[in-house]
A and B are shown apart, each in its own frame.
Chain A
Amino acid sequence: MPEHVTTAPLAAVNDFVVKFANVNGSGSASANGLFAKAIIRMGVPVSARNIFPSNIQGLPTWYEVRVTEAGHLGRRGGVDISVALNPQTWDDDVAEIVPGGYLFYDNTRPMPASKFRDDITVIGVPLTTICNEAYKLPRERQLFKNIAYVGALSWLIGIDTEVVEKVLAEEFASKAKLIGANIQAFNLGRTWAKENLKPIGLQLRHADAVGDRIFVEGNNAAALGAVYGGATVCAWYPITPSTSLAEGFMEHCEALRTNEDGSKRYAIVQAEDEIASIGIVVGAGWNGARAFTCTSGPGISLMNEFIGLSYFAEIPAVIFDVQRGGPSTGMPTRTQQSDLLLAAYASHGDTKHIMLLPADPSECFEMGAVAFDLADRFQTTVFVMLDLDIGMQEWLVEPFKWDDAREIDRGKVITFEDLEAGKEFGRYMDVDHDGVPYRTYPGTHPTRGAFFTRGTSRNRAAGYSEKGVDYQYNMERLLAKFATAARTVPAPVVRQAKRKTKSAVIYFGSTTPAMHEALEALETQGHHLDAMRVRAFPFPQEVFDFIHAHDEVFLVEQNRDAQLRTLVVTEGGIDPAQLTPVLHYDGAPITARFLIDAIGKRMSASNPIREMAE
């Protein structure tokens, strides 16, 4: 029932963006999740993002679904179909629709003409009326209205009913009564739409573009990685956006680490604060268990003293930092990559820490496991730097992989047998010339191998010492250890341009899918860039070699201060003029359109012919 259209309505198959505007606490999340899952089951990839407030009930919340058969899983930018169900945000939601797009709303109550635009297609469905007629209980009227709008949309854009029914049956497998009720609500919306509306120009078709990929949140994946990596102690304090990581660990452990008699092969403590959380992790790591905490920037600030102790006393610890907007409480429910400097140099004194930079939930799983090997091997804190976009959003990613031949690597540990055999032990000696010392676990041997751990200066045998030479030896050895780490951490991934070029881009983490899409688009515009995805700090030498091999290198980051660039300049002695920052930090995930625009403009302006003759 299109009204007032002056721009041609958008038409596309399996390539558009739908944004739902809801009120939080209204039960819309499960309906929106059903919408995304049904499209995936039709074989069409989606990238879905929940944009939510720091609140439990009553504030605006959005769910953005990008339907993309081409597999562009970053945010595109712009909205093609706005499902505007929140009067509080109506004006912004309507303004955001691209010309030719569609506005879907509940027209039970009439809206003044001034509230619409004449370059979009407006579709009204009397959702409230439909549900009030069908249901008596207020709770049912509210909850089923959500499923009803999915039903109406399914008719408009061609979602397969059978697929929806199958997803609902799986979802409510344990509550069979709800399957029928939800299908009924879905059909309520769909039938009304079928009788009153025509399908729109944006359509779904069955495809085969999903493959064996899984749809999962990074926090859940990282928690599973911690289980596979052998973590047994988790101490944490609730903070958005990391809370679901600890909760995920609980659920996975309950399923995977419970003995037949009900006893647990893990221990989880919700501590009184972040300081106690990291203290518990350090105590457990000292005593030979694999331990982690998960937090966000404010938590890292509080943990700083302990992180320095872990560095200096050489105690393994893993910290998952699910980054959010800062400083202070900043934007607790929005995403950023703004803790890089905080984590890399956390604590007082001269300190540097290993950071892993996963790009998606699949890599969160892998790095969530490997972080524990690295922490044990280097006897230090390892940060796994997620962000809210990776941690709390469901991503369509490669399935998790595990090789059963893989053994937990505990690093350099002197055993009872070693001590019995008379193996020499000095806690802080550089025996293998890689900066990494040997350690013993408490309780190993009745008369040999005990040492006193302290955060103050000590000699190679762990004896107290305030001698400058002892201190310096130790600090230099820690640097040597860090250099060994640079050769061990996950290597960067390089993507060569199709033509030889002196331009390049470096990016990391959740920027990855938007960057890949932007690179393809820039290429069609004639801008060729070699691209490197950095996966860890300290940077392997090839990161600096890559920069030296190019004239201009764009560094794409989701923070204000170009923090990765600072690390590259500081650690690699790179001339800052060679590194052009591309920064996105409004709290929303970076978009392909932003990158195409920012990099494309700069390349056209500074040197229109970047490509060298082949």
Chain B
Amino acid sequence: MTYILKPKMHHPDLPKNARGFTRRDYEGRVSTLCAGCGHDSISAAIVQSCFELDIEPHRLAKMSGIGCSSKTPDYFLGQSHGFNSVHGRMPSVLTGANLANRDLIYLGVSGDGDSASIGLGQFAHSIRRGVNMCYIVENNGVYGLTKGQFSATSDKGSKSKKGVENTESGIDLVALALQLGATYVGRSFSGDKDQLVPLIKGALSHHGPAVLDVISPCVAFNNHAGSTKSFDYVREHNEAVNRLDVILGRTPITADYAPGTVTEVTQHDGSTLRLRKLEESYDATNRIGAMNYLQERHAAGEVVTGLLFVDPDATDLHDRLGTTDVALNKLGTKELSPGAAALAKINDALR
């Protein structure tokens, strides 16, 4: 394991966003992952997304579990608090953090081992509970840190580096997320930044459980012929349903996109998702349609990418619980401790 300090010097001409931050302000430490790892591309996409969304770094908390993917929060957003927690349990830690302070943005980073195996229960329950979060699964179909075991998202019939064939059915986290009630569901590919950045921006702006399954080939253990999560396999089998751009309500940006059918979806926070439809029939606001489409394409051997579903009127856990607008961690003695007079009444009722 290396521990390398990155120079903090900024070039004075680096462009700044509306909050006065440069792209460098969103970077973290130097990655210690293998050269060419798909996860580093995702980290770069996160950096770009946060820069473009003008997020103040300290207003975002980055959470992860254990594994290669879960190490990455150290490699982006160095000025944000981060929490590298317990294997498979990031969703519960994120849920608690979110309950404590509803004012921050919560970015959960996980992997396929972390979310589909040991943490499948927490993945499922955080989604059905409606936690407001951007949950990114960096999905390589393999256990990298422990050197190449199949994960639960490995497709049945895919081969390990040693040539062993996986005989167990793969779990499709996107299909699960749709069924469990996620209100923003997308899939992308670490090697497709043009598609990935807008998806992340949309997820970070979404008010509710947003799940992104990002196929991210493992250069060490899962980027060979026979793997269904390799760069080549995904490029050949990618079936993008749409191209997405996010426009924040407060930022007037003129669209510079190729003509085509464009649908605008306004999210809870006022941001607008512009979906450039590649598939004429695809409607990203139809959950059942998304589930059917996903299954059909999967049966045809295709990996569907893009924004599969969004519910623009989504609610989150706080809405459901009816929590006060003030972050719970900002309440003081006066708001929390009912005092001696109230206690006297309680005592009386117990006599």
Binding site for B on A (CB under 8 A): 212-216, 224, 227-230, 232-233, 235, 256-257, 259, 262-269, 271-273, 275-291, 305-306, 309, 399-404, 406-408, 440-447, 450-456, 463-466
Contact = CB atoms under 8 A, between A and B. Distances in A.
Contact of B101 (A264, A442, A456): A442
Contacts of B91: 276, 279
Contact of A402 (B331, B340, B350, B351): B340
B51 to A, nearest CB: 15
B86 A212 contact: no
Contacts of B92: 235, 271, 275-280, 282-283
Given A309-B86, A443-B103, A279 B331 contact: no
A443 B81 contact: yes
A105 to B, nearest CB: 33
B350 A442 contact: no
A371 to B, nearest CB: 14
A291 B86 contact: no
Contacts of A281: 96
Given A272-B125, A279-B93, A443-B104, A233 B328 contact: yes
B56 interface: yes
A403 B333 CA distance: 12
Interface string B320-347: 0111111011011101111110110011
Contacts of A233: 96, 99-100, 328
B227 interface: no
Contacts of A216: 350
Contact of A289 (B57, B89, B328): B328
A406 B343 CA distance: 14
Contacts of B79: 446-447, 450
28 contacts: A224-B346, A227-B337, A228-B338, A232-B99, A235-B96, A257-B336, A263-B323, A267-B99, A271-B92, A271-B125, A272-B121, A276-B121, A279-B85, A279-B96, A280-B92, A283-B94, A284-B99, A286-B96, A287-B101, A288-B101, A289-B100, A401-B340, A402-B337, A403-B340, A404-B339, A446-B57, A450-B79, A452-B73
Interface in B18-64: 56-59, 61, 63
Contacts of A399: 347, 350
A283 to B, nearest CB: 3
A322 B135 CA distance: 35
Most buried by B among A309, A407, A442: A442
A280 B95 contact: yes
Most buried by A among B97, B129, B321: B97
Contact of A464 (B1, B93, B332, B336): B1
B323 A267 contact: yes
A453 B81 CA distance: 8
Contacts of B318: 267
A268 B104 CA distance: 19
Contacts of B59: 443
Given A400-B347, A443-B59, A228 B96 contact: no
B155 interface: no
Most buried by A among B63, B324, B340: B324
Given A276-B125, A444-B58, A264 B84 contact: no
B122 A272 contact: yes
Interface string B58-81: 110101000000000110001111
Contacts of A406: 333, 337
Contacts of A401: 340, 343
A305 B86 contact: yes
Contacts of B129: 269
B84 A455 contact: yes
B331 A453 contact: no
Nearest to A272: B125
Contact of B3 (A257, A285, A305, A463): A463
Contact of B93 (A267, A269, A283, A288): A283
Given A407-B333, A452-B74, A464-B1, A286 B89 contact: no
Contacts of B321: 264, 267-269
Given A272-B125, A276-B122, A450 B80 contact: yes
Interface string B235-255: 000000000000000000000
Nearest to A235: B96
**Do most interface residues of chain A lie in helix, strand or loop, or is the interface mixed?**
loop
Contacts of A214: 347, 350-351
A281 B58 CA distance: 22
Given A215-B350, A288-B100, A400-B343, A275 B89 contact: yes
Interface residue range, chain B = 35 or more
Most buried by A among B124, B339, B351: B351
Contacts of B326: 265
Contacts of B322: 262-264
B81 A450 contact: yes
Contact of B56 (A283, A289, A446): A446
B289 interface: no
Nearest to A210: B351
A577 B201 CA distance: 67
Contacts of A306: 86, 89
Contacts of A289: 96, 99-101, 328-329
A279 B121 CA distance: 13
A288 B331 CA distance: 10
Nearest to A315: B83
A241 B217 CA distance: 48
A229 B343 CA distance: 13
Contacts of B121: 272-273, 276
Given A309-B85, A464-B3, 4 more contacts: A212-B347, A267-B318, A447-B79, A453-B85
A264 B340 CA distance: 21
A280 B99 contact: yes
A279 B86 contact: yes
B93 A286 contact: yes
Nearest to A227: B338
Most buried by B among A227, A257, A406, A452: A452
Most buried by B among A262, A309, A408, A454: A454
Contact of A442 (B97, B125, B338): B97
A404 B338 CA distance: 9
A276 B99 CA distance: 14
B122 to A, nearest CB: 6
Contacts of A442: 58, 61, 80-81, 97, 101, 104
A176 to B, nearest CB: 18
Interface in B264-285: none
B329 A451 contact: no
A285 B83 CA distance: 12
A261 B335 CA distance: 15
B81 A276 contact: no
A450 B78 contact: yes
B170 interface: no
A312 B83 CA distance: 13
Contacts of B342: 256
B329 A441 contact: yes
A450 B59 CA distance: 11
Contacts of A271: 92, 125
Contacts of B96: 233, 235, 279-287, 289, 291
Contact of B324 (A229, A264, A400, A454): A264
Most buried by B among A213, A279, A441, A454: A279
A275 B100 CA distance: 18
A124 B351 CA distance: 33
A402 B336 contact: no
A26 to B, nearest CB: 26
Given A232-B328, A272-B122, A443-B59, A452 B99 contact: no
B96 to A, nearest CB: 3
Contacts of B148: none
B93 A259 contact: no
A213 B93 CA distance: 41
B82 interface: yes
A267 B56 CA distance: 26
